[in-house]
Amino acid sequence: MKNRRTRILSAFLALVVAALACNVPGPTPAATPMVIVVTATGQPPAPPPLETFTAPAPASTLPPVITHILYPAEAQPPESTFVDVDSLGTAPEHRAPYGDSYKINRFERPFTATVMDYLPEVDIHYFTITGDANWFYVGIEVIGLNPQTNNLTADYGVEFDLDRDGHGDYLVWAKAPYTTSWKTDGVSVLTDTNNDVGGPSPERSDAPFNGNGYDSTIFSSGQGADPDLAWVRIDPRMPTRVQFAIKRTLPGDAFMWGVWADLGLRDPSKFSYNDAFTETQAGSPERSETEFYPIKAVYAVDNTCREAVGFRTTGYEPLLCPREEPTAAPRTPQVGCVNPGQYHDAASCTAAGCAWVQDPTVIIAVIYHCVHP
């Protein structure tokens, strides 16, 4: 009798130990709870019948339910438009005219590897930005559609540098298929947790540099803390134009940005491509670079220089688009407008005979300043 009591006590203690063990935090994921049956006879518990275990359904078979709260607008405010080099004119010669600067990660490679056949859907021609109260809208207009499929099949992306150090901080990346209605399917927002996008120097090739580029996904097809963070569509008015709608909360009010078209590597974990590959491995699209022509490991890709939003550029921001030097002869100041920079409001500016105009160096947040009329 005493022996039986001891066995029951031992079984009870074992159950308490097992229950405590279940409460110890650790890396083991929560498992299906198992019921331990303690019998009065002290016999080891019989294994439960197999049919009582029901394997949980794999997550991939459960379609995520995504409830959107805020949708991008159908029509956008007027845009700021920027031009990228295009290779349409030199495509029959299987080369880019210029505009590919491997050292600063600037690509003009809308061509297949080695053969250098032209890919119009990869050739960025214009890139645009505008915004409203909730969104930034970024447009990427390419030269043409995929001639085989008559649509756009490349990946397209928008890269943001928030602290203007040249190292990209967010990459909004979209994959085909695209539709003319806004959708989050196929759109990801990636970030770089160890700031190695661009390698040691964002304005230089550090190859061979073995970083992990954009290494973390904070949004994927509507899944993430904000289900409305980033959207994509084809402009309903223009089949060669991809549009992104990105919540203003992502980049904030002041940042640098540029865009991508990629039908080649399509691997943001290898950003920057000019760090992951040497120029010899990557090749060149310009025949004048005889040492490197044609393109090889870094192929079917186009990107742009970076533009600024919400702040006045100094001209020294890494990867900033070149600023045009003024070509017109300086106008002779008219009598009455002396040192227009001293006036900081429209009334005193015009009263002094100067002209109150938009500052073209600041986009989105329109800033007026005083100049000679």
Binding map of Ca ion across residues 107-136, x = CB under 5 A, - = no contact? ----------------xx------------
- According to DSSP, the residues that pair with 189 across neighbouring strands are 172, 219
Q: Among 93, 246, 280, 222, which Cα is nearest to 171's?
A: 246
Site for Ca ion in 29-58 (CB under 5 A): none
DSSP structure class, residue 95:
S
Cα–Cα distances in angstroms (integers) from residue 233 to residues 140, 159, 178, 246, in the given order: 11, 17, 6, 12
CB nearer to Ca ion: pick between 146 and 201: 201
Q: Does residue 308 interact with Ca ion by CB under 5 A?
A: no
Task: Give the CB-nearest residue to Ca ion.
Answer: 199
Q: Which residues ranging from 67 to 86 are in contact with Ca ion (CB under 5 A)?
A: 84, 86
Find the part of the chain contacting Ca ion (CB under 5 A) among 17-25, 28-36, 132-140, 158-166.
Answer: 158-166
Measuring CA to CA, which residue among 84, 258, 247 is closest to residue 164?
A: 258
**Total of residues contacting Ca ion (CB under 5 A):** 20
Nearer to Ca ion, 228 or 302 (CB): 302
Site for Ca ion in 203-232 (CB under 5 A): 206, 212, 215
Considering the complex, state which of residue 42 and residue 318 has its C-beta at the smaller distance from Ca ion. Answer: 318
| Closer by beta carbon to Ca ion, 123 or else 228 | 123
Residue among 99 and 340 whose Cβ is closer to Ca ion? 99
Nearest to 136 by CA among 307, 369, 314: 307
Q: Does 141 bind Ca ion (CB under 5 A)?
A: no
Identify the H or E element spanning 4.
Answer: helix 2-23
Closest separation in Å from C-beta 44 to Ca ion: 51
The least CB distance from residue 85 to Ca ion, in Å, is: 5
User: Which C-beta is closer to Ca ion: that of 141 or that of 302?
Assistant: 302
Whole-number minimum distance, CB 189 to Ca ion, in Å?
A: 15
Among 100, 141, 159, 302, binds Ca ion (CB under 5 A): 302
Q: Locate all alpha helices (DSSP H) within the chain, ordered by sequence.
A: 2-23, 273-276, 279-282, 346-351
d(CA 325, CA 336): 27
Residue of 165, 226, 235, 317 that binds Ca ion (CB under 5 A) = 165
Strand partners, 239: none
State which residue, 174 or 354, has the beta carbon closest to Ca ion: 174
Q: Which of 43, 52, 194, 348 binds Ca ion (CB under 5 A)?
A: 194
Contact call for residue 163 and Ca ion (CB under 5 A): yes
Verify binding: residue 199, Ca ion, rule CB under 5 A: yes
Alpha carbon distance 154, 176 (integer Å) = 7
**Type of residue found at 321:** C
Task: Retrieve residue 281's tokens.
Answer: 């491995």
Tally of CB atoms within 10 A around 6 = 11
Interface pick for Ca ion out of 155, 159, 192, 307 (rule CB under 5 A): 192
Which member of 106, 167, 175, 241 binds Ca ion (CB under 5 A)? Answer: 167
Cβ–Cβ under 8 Å, residues 300 and 264: yes
Q: How far is the CB of 118 from Ca ion (least distance, A)?
A: 11
The helix or strand, by DSSP H or E, that contains position 276, with its residue range, turns out to be helix 273-276
| Piece of 113-121, 134-142, 184-192, 280-288 that binds Ca ion (CB under 5 A) | 184-192
Q: Scanning residues 262 to 281, which ones bind Ca ion (CB under 5 A)?
A: 275
Q: 281-307 as b/e, with b when 16 or more CB fall inside 10 Å?
A: ebbbbbeeeeebbbbeebbbbbbbbbb
Cα–Cα distance measured from residue 306 to residue 293, given in angstroms and rounded to the nearest whole number: 26
Q: Does residue 79 contact residue 55 with C-beta atoms inside 8 Å?
A: no
Output the smallest distance, CB 89 to Ca ion, in A. Answer: 11
Closest CA to 151 of 46, 27, 239, 72: 239
Q: Which residues bind Ca ion (CB under 5 A)?
A: 84, 86, 123-124, 161, 163, 165, 167, 169, 192, 194, 196, 198-199, 201, 206, 212, 215, 275, 302
